[in-house]
C-alpha cells in the first residue's frame, strides 16, 4: 500500500455498528491518523464514537453520499449493511437485499476516488443450503459457495456483492478483498431489540431469568442446530490481514470451534452461575441446521486463524451485557421480547 500511515485516509462504513466501531478503534491504536467513520444512525446511537476521527452521518444508499465519504480515500472498509441476527434476516429479506444499493454505490465511489484498496465484509450465509442441512455439518470451504444456493435474501445480497467486487477488480483495477464472516460476537454490540445474534441474546435471557426469578429460557429451534462463533478480536485481526493481503478470492473468517445452541446455552449458564429450564420454540427463526468454518485456506495464506475460545469470549461478552442491562434498567427486569414469527405461522 502506498502512502505513509499519517498520509492516507481510511474510510470505515457501518462505523456506528458493532464490528465497524471496533475496527475504527483498532485503526487508531495502530497509529492511523486519518480515519473517516460513517454510519446512517445519529451519533448518539453509535456503539462507539472516537475522538480525532472524521465522524459522519450519511445514508449510503444514496450515490451522492458515497461519493462524498470516499473523497480522498486510500482504503475503504465497506461494512455497512441492513442486517441483524437470524430473527431479523429471516423476516426482513427485502431490507437485507437493499444493501446491494450501498455496496454498488460504494464500489463506484471508491473506484472514482482512486482508492487503492476496497474491503467487503461478506458472510457465511453465501454457502449452499444443502451443505448445511444437518447439525453434524462438514466445515464449509470457500469453493462450497458454488453452484450458488445461498440463504434467501441476505445470502444472495452478499454473494452478488462478492461478484461485483471481483468484476470491479478485473474491469477497473480496484483492488478488492473479501472476507466471509462467521457469526461475530463480543462486547459493544447489539444485545436486545430483535437484531442481536445468538450469544448476546442468550446472555440477555440468562440475566432476565435471574432477575425475574423464573429460571427458564426459550431456545429457538430444537437447540441441536450447530454453529461456530468468532470473537471480535479475531475478526479484527483477520479483517486487517485480508484487507492488506494479495489474496484475491473470498476467504472464510470464522472460528472452527463447532457447538450446538444447547451447548452455547450451557456455557452461558456456567458463566452466569445459573441452571435454566429449557423451552423450545420450533417455529422461531433458526437458520440452517449446521454451519462451521473450514480454515484451511486462511491458515495457508497467513499461518493464522481465529483462536479465541468460545468460553473466553463469552465470559467477556456476558460481563458486558450484564453491565449494560444494569445500566439500562437499574437491576429491574426490562421489557421481555417476543419471539419473532415467520409470516403465516402461529404459536
Task: Say what the pLDDT of residue 83 is.
Answer: 63
Each residue of 319-331: pLDDT tens digit?
Answer: 999 999 999 888 7
Interatomic CA distance for residues 84 and 125, integer angstroms:
12
Task: Say what the pLDDT of residue 343 is.
Answer: 36
Concatenated DSSP letters of 89-157: HTT-HHHHHTHHHHHHHHHHHHHHHT-SEEEEEEEGGGS-GGGGSSSSPPPBPGGGG-S----TTHHHH
The arithmetic mean of pLDDT across residues 214-221, rounded, is: 93
Task: Say what the pLDDT of residue 130 is.
Answer: 84
Longest dimension (CA), the chain: 61
181, 254 contact by CB (below 8 A):
yes
Task: Say what the pLDDT of residue 4 is.
Answer: 46
Of residues 83 and 134, more confidently modeled: 134
Q: Out of 77, 127, 154, 231, which one is annotated catalytic?
A: 154
Confidence of residue 223 (pLDDT cuts 50, 70, 90): very high
Cis peptide before 147 (omega within 30 of 0): yes
Task: Say what the pLDDT of residue 331 is.
Answer: 76
Q: Is 280 a catalytic residue?
A: no
Whole-model pTM? 0.91
* pLDDT surpassing 60 at residue 338: no
In 3D space, the residue among 161, 40, 148 whose CA is nearest the CA of residue 97 turns out to be 161
Q: Chain-wide mean pLDDT for the chain? A: 91
Each residue of 75-108: pLDDT tens digit?
Answer: 999 999 976 556 666 667 888 788 999 999 999 9
Angle, CA of 31, 74 and 162, to the nearest 5°: 110
pLDDT-above-70 percentage for the chain: 92
Task: Say what the pLDDT of residue 285 is.
Answer: 77
Interatomic CA distance for residues 5 and 10, integer angstroms:
10
Angle between helical axes of 99-113 and 154-172 (0-180°, round to 10): 20
In 3D space, the residue among 305, 292, 257, 304 whose CA is nearest the CA of residue 141 turns out to be 292
Concatenated DSSP letters of 78-97: E---S--SHHHHTT-HHHHH
Task: Say what the pLDDT of residue 346 is.
Answer: 28
* pLDDT surpassing 90 at residue 1: no
* pLDDT surpassing 50 at residue 345: no
Beta 54-57 vs 216-220: how paired, if at all? Answer: unpaired
Each residue of 271-295: pLDDT tens digit?
Answer: 999 999 999 998 887 778 999 999 9
Residue 63 CB neighbours (<10 A): 14
Interatomic CA distance for residues 12 and 121, integer angstroms:
11
Length of the chain: 347
Interatomic CA distance for residues 199 and 183, integer angstroms:
9
Task: Say what the pLDDT of residue 330 is.
Answer: 81
The arithmetic mean of pLDDT across residues 266-274, rounded, is: 97
Strand ranges for the chain from DSSP E: 9-13, 35-39, 54-57, 73-78, 117-123, 176-181, 184-185, 216-220, 226-228, 230-231, 251-253, 258-260, 277-281
Of residues 69 and 340, more confidently modeled: 69
* pLDDT surpassing 80 at residue 246: yes
Task: Say what the pLDDT of residue 297 is.
Answer: 98
* C-alpha cell recorded at residue 133: 442441512
Phi, then psi, of 216 in degrees rounded to 5:
-145, 160
* pLDDT surpassing 50 at residue 340: no
Confidence of residue 337 (pLDDT cuts 50, 70, 90): low
Task: Say what the pLDDT of residue 23 is.
Answer: 98
Task: Say what the pLDDT of residue 336 is.
Answer: 67
Q: Percentage helix, strand, coil, to 5, in the chain?
A: 40, 15, 40
Task: Say what the pLDDT of residue 284 is.
Answer: 83
Interatomic CA distance for residues 250 and 143, integer angstroms:
9
* pLDDT surpassing 70 at residue 341: no
Task: Say what the pLDDT of residue 347 is.
Answer: 23
Q: What domains sit in the chain, N to C, each tagged with a CATH number?
A: 9-184+231-253 (3.40.50.720), 187-228+257-297+309-329 (3.90.25.10)
The arithmetic mean of pLDDT across residues 156-172, rounded, is: 97
Interatomic CA distance for residues 20 and 49, integer angstroms:
11
Amino acid at each position: 500500500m502506498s502512502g505513509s500511515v499519517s498520509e492516507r485516509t481510511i474510510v470505515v462504513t457501518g462505523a456506528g455498528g458493532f464490528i465497524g466501531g471496533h475496527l475504527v478503534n483498532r485503526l487508531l491504536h495502530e497509529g492511523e491518523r486519518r480515519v473517516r467513520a460513517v454510519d446512517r444512525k445519529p451519533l448518539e446511537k453509535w456503539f462507539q464514537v472516537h475522538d480525532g476521527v472524521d465522524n459522519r452521518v450519511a445514508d449510503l444508499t444514496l450515490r451522492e453520499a458515497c461519493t462524498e465519504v470516499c473523497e480522498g480515500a486510500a482504503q475503504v472498509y465497506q461494512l455497512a449493511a441492513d442486517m441483524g441476527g437470524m430473527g431479523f434476516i429471516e423476516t426482513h429479506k427485502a431490507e437485507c437485499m437493499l444493501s446491494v444499493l450501498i455496496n454498488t454505490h460504494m464500489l463506484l465511489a471508491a473506484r472514482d476516488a482512486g482508492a487503492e484498496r476496497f474491503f467487503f465484509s461478506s458472510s457465511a450465509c453465501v454457502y449452499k443450503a444443502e451443505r448445511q442441512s444437518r447439525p453434524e455439518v462438514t466445515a464449509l470451504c470457500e469453493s462450497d459457495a458454488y453452484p450458488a444456493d445461498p440463504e434467501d435474501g441476505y445470502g444472495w445480497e452478499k454473494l452478488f456483492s462478492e461478484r461485483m467486487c471481483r468484476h470491479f477488480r478485473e474491469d477497473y483495477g480496484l483492488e478488492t478483498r473479501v472476507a466471509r464472516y462467521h457469526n461475530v460476537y463480543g462486547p459493544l454490540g447489539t444485545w436486545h431489540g430483535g437484531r442481536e445474534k445468538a450469544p448476546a441474546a442468550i446472555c440477555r435471557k440468562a440475566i432476565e431469568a435471574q432477575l425475574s426469578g423464573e429460571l427458564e429460557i426459550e431456545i429457538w429451534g430444537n437447540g441441536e442446530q450447530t454453529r461456530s462463533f468468532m470473537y471480535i478480536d479475531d475478526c479484527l485481526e483477520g479483517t486487517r490481514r485480508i484487507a492488506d493481503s494479495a489474496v484475491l478470492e473470498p476467504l472464510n473468517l470464522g472460528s472452527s470451534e463447532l457447538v450446538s445452541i444447547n451447548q452455547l446455552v450451557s456455557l452461558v449458564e456456567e458463566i452466569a452461575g445459573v441452571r435454566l429450564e429449557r423451552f423450545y420454540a420450533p417455529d422461531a427463526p433458526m437458520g440452517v441446521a449446521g454451519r462451521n468454518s473450514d480454515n484451511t485456506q486462511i491458515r495457508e495464506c497467513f499461518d493464522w486463524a481465529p483462536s479465541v475460545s468460545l468460553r473466553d469470549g463469552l465470559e467477556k461478552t456476558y460481563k458486558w451485557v450484564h453491565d449494560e442491562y444494569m445500566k439500562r434498567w437499574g437491576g429491574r427486569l426490562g421489557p421481555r421480547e417476543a419471539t419473532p414469527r415467520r409470516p403465516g405461522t402461529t404459536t
